Chain A
Amino acid sequence: MVEIVFIAPLLAGAVAFFLRGRSGRPLLVSTGAVHLLISVLVWCFRPAAAFPDYFGISPEGLLSLLVISLLFFMISIYTTAYLKGARIHSEPIFTGCMLLFLATMTMVTLSDHIMVMWIAIEATTLASAPLIYTHRSAASLEATWKYVLICSVGIALALLGSVLITLAMDVGGVFAPVSFSSLTEVAGELDPFWLKTGFVFILVGYGTKMGLAPMHTWLPDAHSEAPSPASALLSGVLLNCAYLGIFKTNKIMQAAGLGDFSGTVLIFFGLASMLAAAAFILKQTEYKRLLAYSSIENMGIIAFGTGVGGIGAYGAVLCLIHHSLIKSSLFLSSGNILIGYASRLIKGTGKLARLMPKTFVAFFGGFAGISGFPPFGIFLGEFFIVLGAFRAQHFVGVGIFALSICVIFAGFANHMMKISFGEAVAAVKFEEKATMVWPQYALLLTSVVLCFWMPETVSQTVMNAVNSMGGGL
């Protein structure tokens, strides 16, 4: 009965819509705690699914599930404090959508059937759209419109891609369930032409949702307009869910012996995203958009690593986990900054180190982590990706990769210095409550700990996830 993991938050979300006023807050935290507990149990006991045609446990899904669960729990603790400080219209809708969002994302991690995966990913778009419109401003409305339209159209292409893969089964005369696990087994018999076409459509479709350039245009708007806890969820987990669709399809391609083709396409989109992020990060004027472009960069890094394969794929999965942990902590800290300075502009901030010292520690630590400094896992991930790319002799690719990372680091550091030590223009009215800084610390600490000591079962699961791509040390 592995389905209980997403049914529980689904029911809680449905209940939350009918609660009045603030009574949704304890429900949010308790659902987060229960979800984390069930996820850990699922990890330990690996129960079978009640509907094995549609759902199943895969190593990459398990990793994402645990990350989602941990993140949501931390974010829910932060959210209860955040809701006291920030003015939010109709709190029941906000909490209800947060829980539904959790349910749909959990469903993505557990779905095995190609079409169920699509249904779940489209459902994440629908559940998260009201979150972006929480502030009811004209700008947030525009961001929601772009998000829903661009992602729906993009994901429609992924649906076409999924249909084309079933067509590859018909043309190849394969009779097997339309699930990722069974397709990976019979991949060699699928018709290569339709499989390739399907992969490209799926990559473009889920790539839109994942924020790969040039389909990323919705991402900075949505991330900057959504309230910070929702941005943290969007960036930390939603992008991973879309990536999961690409990752699983790439596994089929690898098993079918078309890994070179899929790798080249992934490398292309990955590098394009990194270059786009580098170009836009330098001239950014808002700090939440800055973080959003950094997410585009990291998705580019992950796509590049997956495309490179081998040890690069291992690095990509490491980057995926650590990006979720670090980026969501950064977005939560940006929520504190927004409440404190009441401005989205980098110009409107300053002297963060003196005015909000606890938030500063989390924000600066997150910056160091996301830029790839050694004590954090992104460093290891990027190191493995570069190593893998050298082994696979993608020298030009490594050049562009390194150049983009340097430019992005320079731009990010420049803005970061202004926020932390520049002149402050406004007085800060913000009391740094424990619940609004400790979740960030906990997330960053998890990233550091995972870098030095990864439990045997976790590292084994990462290995299992990437071994079909020739991954591993």
Chain B
Amino acid sequence: MIQTVDTILALVLLSVLFSFGSSRLPALIKVIAFQGVVVSVVPFFMGHSMSAGGTAFTIVTLLIRGIGIPLCIYLAIKKIAIRREVEPIVGFHASLFAGLVLIVAAISVAPKFHLPHASGHVLLLPTAITLLVAGMFILMARRNAIAMVLGYIMMENGIYLVGTSLSLRTHHIVEFGILLDVLAGVMIMAIILQNIKQAFDGVDTALLRTLKE
């Protein structure tokens, strides 16, 4: 029987491929929001017993990861009304191919780790690895500063998936602190993005070259 968790995680893997092939920022932001929603609800379907506090925490995570963080970035780009295209360093076709290779590699590597809590959910670890590496890929392969922030958020989603789903030791108050840090970080990045747009007349990171050796 195909499990719910694996089904929605498969959608996340597809969304990674979509983000690698997409040149439009609003589409990328939607992908990030979707991934944020999925990684927050995965604990619901994992079959661990959920306390009332755990449920409340999951809903807060859902609100912040699925709505708060993407909204921050969306408002930032709307306010500065920049060109909504992403300038790639690695082309879109090459990126798509790299994404496919990444997913295949993640799925073939994952079973070798023998994790105690991953049993039964085949796609959990591969998705986490894919999100992590895909986030780093976007950070390196796109010249647009907003896309870089999105890459960071994707990476963070991957780490969250490892943290909540594969490890049983979650202190909700600690997780909440981490979430607040990430939210505040993204907000600060959004503010910097607006200032960069004003100061440099664009968010192409090739413009940010005044400080170098």
Enumerate chain A interface residues (CB-CB to B < 8 A): 53-54, 113, 115-116, 118-119, 122-123, 125-126, 129, 133, 138-139, 141-146, 148-149, 152-153, 156, 159-160, 163-164, 166-167, 169-171, 178, 220-221, 224-225, 280, 283
Contacts and interface: CB of A to CB of B under 8 A. Distances in A.
Main secondary structure of the interface of B (DSSP, over half): helix
Given A153-B139, A178-B169, A280-B213, A160 B162 contact: yes
Given A152-B152, A167-B115, A178-B169, A123 B181 contact: yes
Interface string B135-168: 0100100000100110010011001001100111
Q: Which of A118, A133, A148 has the most CB of B within 10 A?
A: A148
Given A119-B174, A143-B211, A149-B149, 15 more contacts: A115-B177, A116-B174, A123-B181, A123-B184, A129-B192, A138-B200, A138-B210, A141-B199, A142-B196, A153-B139, A160-B159, A166-B169, A169-B169, A170-B117, A221-B211
A142 B210 contact: yes
Contacts of B177: 115-116, 119
Interface of B: 115-117, 132, 136, 139, 145, 148-149, 152, 155-156, 159, 162-163, 166-169, 171, 174-175, 177-178, 181-182, 184-185, 188-189, 192, 195-196, 199-200, 208, 210-211, 213
A133 B116 CA distance: 46
B125 to A, nearest CB: 11
Contacts of B167: 163, 166-167, 170
A353 to B, nearest CB: 29
26 contacts: A113-B171, A115-B171, A115-B178, A122-B185, A123-B184, A133-B195, A141-B199, A141-B200, A142-B196, A142-B208, A145-B192, A145-B208, A153-B139, A156-B152, A156-B155, A163-B166, A163-B167, A166-B163, A166-B169, A167-B162, A170-B117, A171-B116, A178-B169, A178-B171, A220-B213, A225-B211
B198 to A, nearest CB: 9
A113 B174 CA distance: 9
Given A119-B181, A126-B184, A153-B155, A144 B192 contact: yes
Nearest to A165: B167
Contacts of B184: 123, 126
A118 B145 contact: no
Contacts of B199: 138, 141
Nearest to A142: B208
Contacts of A123: 181, 184
A141 B195 contact: yes
B152 A167 contact: no
A225 B212 CA distance: 12
